[in-house]
Structure 1
Amino acid sequence: MSTFDERYSQLTDVVEGAEEDLMKFYEKGNKAAGTRARKSLMELKKLAHEIRQEIQDIKNNDL
């Protein structure tokens, strides 16, 4: 599996994991689901930052 496939898979896993909790929070007002959704979103932010840095490093090394 390429780096792209791995990174894309990681991103989609985090988003899909947050989807159920987001629905529970917004549609049913489940506060615990809101806490879990916030945790997933923070994980998504961290992963996005790592991927951005990886892209920048690859771009700079190829020049």
Structure 2
Amino acid sequence: MDKFKKVQDLITSAEADVTKFYDGRNAAAGTRVRKAMQELKNLAQEIRSEVTEKKNSAK
């Protein structure tokens, strides 16, 4: 559950940079968005692995 909270926090923190990139054409904000998306990808994969492990251990 902690990792899911981290995903929510990361999305919230990246929101300003997404706006800066898409509305303001700020290239540096785009770099920060890409970094945040990579972190989201990694966290999502960790969560998927944990869910699969927990699901399989319940059998």
3-state SS, counterpart of residue 53 of structure 1: helix
Q: TM-score, normalised by structure 2?
A: 0.94
Give the one of 20, 31, 54 matched to 2:16.
20
Q: TM-score, normalised by structure 1?
A: 0.89
Aligned length in residues: 59
Instruction: Give the superposed CA RMSD.
Output: 0.7
Once the two structures are superposed, what CA deviation does each residue of 1:12-59 show, in whole Å capped at 9, x if it has no partner? 111011111000000000000000000000000000000000000000
Please show how residues 1-63 of structure 1 align to structure 2 within 5 Å: 4=1, 6-63=2-59
Residue segments in structure 1 that go unaligned for 5+ positions in a row:
none
Residue segments in structure 2 that go unaligned for 5+ positions in a row:
none
The residue type equivalent to 2:11 in the other structure is: V
| 4+ aligned runs moved over 2 Å, structure 1 | none
The residue type equivalent to 1:28 in the other structure is: G
